[in-house]
A and B are shown apart, each in its own frame.
Chain A
Amino acid sequence: MKEMSKNSITGAPSRHRNGGGNPLGPNSEIARKLKQYYDELVSDQVPDRFAQLLSQLEKAEPAEKKD
Chain B
Amino acid sequence: MAAVSQSFKTELLGAIPSLRAFAVSLTQNADKADDLVQETLVKAWDKHESFQLGTNLKAWLFTILRNEFYSQMRKRGREVQDSDGIMTARLAVHPAQHGQLDLKDFRGALEQLPEDQREAIILIGASGFSYEEAAEICGCAVGTIKSRVSRARARLQDILKISGEDEYGPDAISAQVTGSNAA
Binding site for B on A (CB under 8 A): 4-10, 12-18, 23-24, 26-27, 29-31, 33-44, 46-47, 49-51, 53-54, 57-58, 61-62, 65
Contact = CB atoms under 8 A, between A and B. Distances in A.
Nearest to A19: B130
10 contacts: A10-B18, A13-B59, A15-B130, A16-B128, A17-B132, A29-B162, A30-B157, A33-B106, A38-B25, A49-B34
A9 B37 contact: no
B29 to A, nearest CB: 12
A35 B15 contact: no
Of B10, B17, B124, B162, chain A has the most CB atoms within 10 Å of the CB of B17
A40 B20 CA distance: 11
A5 B51 CA distance: 23
Contacts of B183: none
Given A9-B10, A16-B128, A35-B126, 6 more contacts: A13-B133, A31-B125, A33-B103, A34-B121, A49-B34, A61-B4
Contacts of A49: 34, 38
Interface of B: 1, 3-4, 9-18, 20-21, 24-25, 34, 37-38, 41-42, 45, 55-56, 58-59, 96, 99, 101, 103, 106-107, 110, 121-122, 124-133, 149, 153, 156-157, 160, 162, 164
Contacts of A26: 164
Contact of A4 (B16, B58, B110, B127): B16
A65 B1 contact: yes
